[in-house]
Amino acid sequence: MTRCLAIRATIATLALGLLACAPAQAADTVDPAADKAAFQKFFTGKFPKLKLEDFVNGPYSMNEDLHRQWEEKEQFPPYEFSLEAGKEMFATPFKNGKTYADCFPNKGIGIRQNYPYFDEKEGKVVTLELALNRCREANGEAPFSYVKDDMAALTAYMAFTSRGKPMDIKIPNDPRALEAYQKGKEYFYTRRGQLNFSCATCHIQSPGERIRAEVLAPALGILNAMPIYRSEWSGMGTTSRRFTTCNSQIRGVPLNPQDDEYRNLEYYLSYVSNGLPISGPGARP
């Protein structure tokens, strides 16, 4: 029985990743809307007792005991200090008198659900982390580390102002946007590292199962909770930190934060979670 279940999971994973395996798929055959529908249907079928919006709670959505742990943790969330620091930083003027609000639509409030987006002028994906550092540099400030500390605090505050808003990632009718999306999908399903794991190995085939002490989160809604406080880190981490950590855990070579591959991956994972609410900042074991 165990072997049969494993085979079924593998078949389902392969079915979801079939298009991603094509080495040179033409842009006019890429169908993000169909991908999103299949992706969400796979997870709601795999976990029929879960409401769609519950997937954003990651491992805490997997069973009642974990959900109770999450409810208890949310009474005194470990990200609270970082959230307060981010709120203060966001409102503090740069040396030139401007603030982060001058760099973003709606003064940066309640916009997390729109990131990442595809910049048609640049021809590349722009993440919230990248946009924040570009804002800093445009105002004469040094960029922050992409993985933790100040960047995690800022994105925590911006995510908090969007809590409950549905992820709303757009893919413009631009072959370059479709290519970026497809490359992100391919990265998600490509095996790498000494363990020969892909992102899908853990987060599609095995959500709810354990690797050592960690309960694996479903890929659906996984970025809606970012940034997160992790007990393993004893602190906050951004999406960039999560990606680089995952590569290290499978004994692969992490890319540089905000490399094109990571930005495309974030674009893909965010798009297929469209409609699920922003729940960040989050906390994980």
For 23-82, write each residue's pLDDT tens digit.
345 555 899 999 999 999 999 999 999 999 999 998 888 877 777 777 777 788 999 999
Would residue 21 show up in a list of annotated catalytic residues for this protein? Answer: no
Q: What is the pLDDT of residues 81-130, one digit of tens each?
A: 999 999 999 999 999 999 999 999 999 999 999 999 999 999 999 999 99
Q: Do domains 27-78+173-284 and 80-160 have the same CATH topology?
A: yes
Binding-site residue set for substrate: 242
Give the three-state DSSP class for 16.
helix
Give me the helix-helix angle, 260-271 and 32-46, nearest 10°: 60
Note whether 199 and 245 are within 8 A (CB).
no
The domain limits of the chain are: 27-78+173-284, 80-160
- Of 246, 242, 264, 221, the closest CA to residue 42 belongs to 221
Assess whether the previous peptide bond of 116 is cis (omega < 30° from 0). Answer: yes
Note whether 20 and 185 are within 8 A (CB).
yes
Which CATH architecture fits 80-160?
Answer: Orthogonal Bundle (1.10)
Binding-site residue set for heme c: 103, 135, 199, 202-203, 246
> The pTM is what?
0.89
Please pick, among 246, 250, 252, 260, the residue that the annotation labels catalytic: 246
Q: String of b and e for 7-26 (b: at least 16 CB within 10 Å)? A: eebeebbeebbebbeeeebe
Q: Which CATH superfamily is domain 27-78+173-284 in?
A: Cytochrome c-like domain (1.10.760.10)
